[in-house]
Structure 1
Amino acid sequence: MSKWWRTAVAGLRKTTDASRSYHTIQAIPREITGNRVSIKDRAQGRIPAVVFAQPNPSIDGGGGGSPVSSVARKHLLTTERKQIQAILNSIELPYFCSTTFPLQIRAGSGSSTLLESGTVLPIKVHRDPETGKLLNLVFVWADEGAQLTVDVPVVFKGEDVCPGLKKGGLLNKIRASLKYKCPSEHIPQKIEVDISNLDIGDKVFMHDVKVHPSLELLSKNELLPVCKIVAAKLDIAQ
């Protein structure tokens, strides 16, 4: 086991919360692509990955910089499967894809030569549909000030005291996530929706959800409901 990997594992064991400072993802470049190469990488305990600058139409050139800089910051990588799995055991999906992580790209496995580093946001985790094994990862650079599009998971709180639920109603969870344009430093890992005061028939709409003022909701209709308390006899899919 390489020195940097032992360090990363030790860091993961130091905390029981999802503290981002302990989750520095280590990666090395990959020069060749293709299915055969990816199969070989996975057999060696590595996961193919890519990191790039997310296009941002509101900024000239997209991705917080010029087209040239965006292309230059695209890297084909591989990561340690054990490390990624350890992180996923600590920060489960879908919260993994709304959490930023430090990334270090080193010259090779076990190398002390650092080629590039920065902060990244996972946007896709591909798994084998039959076995569930990790196949590849997609990241975007999340440097400070970068504007990123993020699907933020919605969680509900107050179910234990919700009047409508106490009367026998059911919680219809209409939206599992909400899409925002976020400054990278203000990306929320999750959005909490308080239902503690809802009665049967009450709804929480998108515009009711409280988030950091720098977040822009990417929805054409903010009047769409996030959840609703419905009578048990009604079809909660309606």
Structure 2
Amino acid sequence: MSKTHEIKVTKRELQRKGASRRLRHAGVIPAIVYGGNAEPVAISLDHNEIWLAQQNEWFYASILDLNLDGQVQKVLLRDMQRHPYKQLIMHLDFQRVNENEALTASVPLHFINEDTSPAGKAADVVVTHELKEVTISCLPKDLPESIEVDLADLAAGDVVYLSNIKLPKGVEIPALALGKDHDDAIVTAKHGKEDAADAEEAPAAE
């Protein structure tokens, strides 16, 4: 289970874009909380606090406790709008979670023991991480901040698939229920010459 992280928020009235612009100039991020049986609530958050928080994986893949005047709502971040070139967060969307209902979230994959694996120690083998995160389904209490993929036995020619991931208790990968075609590769280990041959064949196939 992932840890929860508390963030203080302030309620705001739903207003026009001009009001949101003024909030951002004041160092405040406009946001919305929706979902569940309650009405959407417009809130604001301190930009500096969120800017630091969003540099951590947990901000994107953990249950967040939004503290509004002492009342805590458990939510997941569902959308973040950034300024195209400034270090500025424009808007956030949070979705309420119910502890008794399964949720769907994307969590990062952490690859371990790659350097000490047969493929990792081979000079002529290229290890590629095809996926960096995976979409899972679970109850909020079972939501992990990340999932480890142990590559200790990875050898040249191996392919690691979604179905090879050892999932924490209570966690599922919905894509696997859709059939083998959705069992995507997450790691490949190829000889360097093999990669070069693939690159040469690609233009010829067009």
1:82 is aligned to 2:48: yes
- TM-superposed CA distance for 1:212, in Å, is 2.4
Distance in 2 of aligned mates of 1:183 and 1:32? 31
Partner of 1:13: none
In structure 2, list runs of 5 or more residues that go unmatched.
200-206
In the alignment, what sits opposite 1:235?
195
- Work out which of the residue numbers 63, 73, 88 in structure 2 matches 1:100: 63
Report Cα offsets for 1:123-164 as digits up to 9, x if no partner: 222211211311111111134223211011112111120101
1:18-97 alignment, distance < 5 Å: 20=3, 23-53=5-35, 63=36, 69=37, 72-89=38-55, 91-92=56-57, 95-97=58-60
Mapped partners of 1:179, 1:104: distance in 2:
27
> Percent identity over the alignment?
25
Q: After superposition, give the CA deviation of every residue in 1:22-63 in whole Å (9 maximum; x if it has no partner).
A: x3111112212332111111111110111112xxxxxxxxx5
Distance change (3 Å), C-alpha of 1:99 and 1:130: same
2:152, 2:168 → 1: CA distance?
A: 21
Cα drift, residue 207 of structure 1: 0.9
Residue 189 of structure 2 aligns with an amino acid whose one-letter code is I
Letter in 2 for 1:101: L
Q: TM-score under structure 2 normalisation?
A: 0.84
Q: How far apart, CA to CA, are the structure 2 residues paired with 1:132 and 1:231?
A: 40
Query: Which residue identity lines up with residue 212 of structure 1 in the other structure?
Result: P
192-201 vs 223-232, which moves further? 223-232
List alignment gaps of at least 5 residues for structure 1.
1-18, 54-62, 64-68, 107-113
2: CA distance, partners of 1:199 / 1:119:
42
Q: Which residue of 2 aligns with 1:156?
A: 111
TM-score norm. by structure 1 comes to: 0.73
Q: Is 2:107–2:133's contact at 8 Å kept on the other side of the alignment?
A: yes
Give RMSD over aligned pairs: 2.2
